[in-house]
Structure 1
Amino acid sequence: MNSSEFETKLNWVYVGKVKALNSYVSEHAVLLFHCDKCGAEFYGKPMYMIGKDHQRHICTMPYGDRYGERLFSIHSRPKPNKKKTSKDMGKRFYEMVIEDYTPSQIAKELQVNPKIIMMYFKEEGLIE
């Protein structure tokens, strides 16, 4: 298959909505495609773009898993807990000291070793 045959088949399959942004090299070369209908840019091989139905681009659909099964929805993964920065922890620590939290309460909420909090309180003269 040459470049003009590929473009003809691509236009026939996608009714002119999907265009290759790279020049055609071979059936196995990975090209960047753009879909005018959904606005997606994606990579694919020409032989898959004009191949079987389950291999083609379908707007707003994820492409599938590593076994070739097409997914019918995108599963959102739970976002990992945002790691507290030392700046955030320092600010919260200061607020808790001002609000008269006990060292054990501070250590529990900030999830730090209570000995560190006790050492700070002793150095500052807040406890003996």
Structure 2
Amino acid sequence: MEHFMRIRAAATTLGIGAGLTAIAISSGAGQAAALTPQIAPELGLYSVELNHSETVALNNTPLPGMLDPLWRDHGVAIIVPPAARSGDDVIVTDLSDAVAASAASTTGEVGLVIFDPRVGPADLDRNLFAVGFLD
């Protein structure tokens, strides 16, 4: 249960990053801004949210599989199904599986976050976080 509480805290923090991304895109930044990192140094948060076509493009490279060992050692990757309402509803998985599931979904997206352990959420024992949002 403690593990899911950490995931929930990270997902909340990721929501801040996703919110920053949504603000940037809706303020007229447009499609080109989709890969613009969202930086909140005061929160120890550095994130990027990939839209569906970028998620598919990432899935078509070897990069997610190459990053799986790094994510297993220093991060958490989860898949958030459409009806997920709590940390218990998410699926903990490898980075490559989160990217693949999001790419296979019709509008799935992936968010990638790096937490600065000196500033970020104190209860997290990992500083890499990936979440695949399914439709």
- Structure number with greater CO (CA < 8 Å, separation at least 6) is 2
Over alpha carbons, which structure has the higher Rg? 1
> Which category describes the TM-score, using the shorter chain as reference length?
under 0.3
TM-score scaled by length of structure 1? 0.22
TM-score scaled by length of structure 2? 0.21
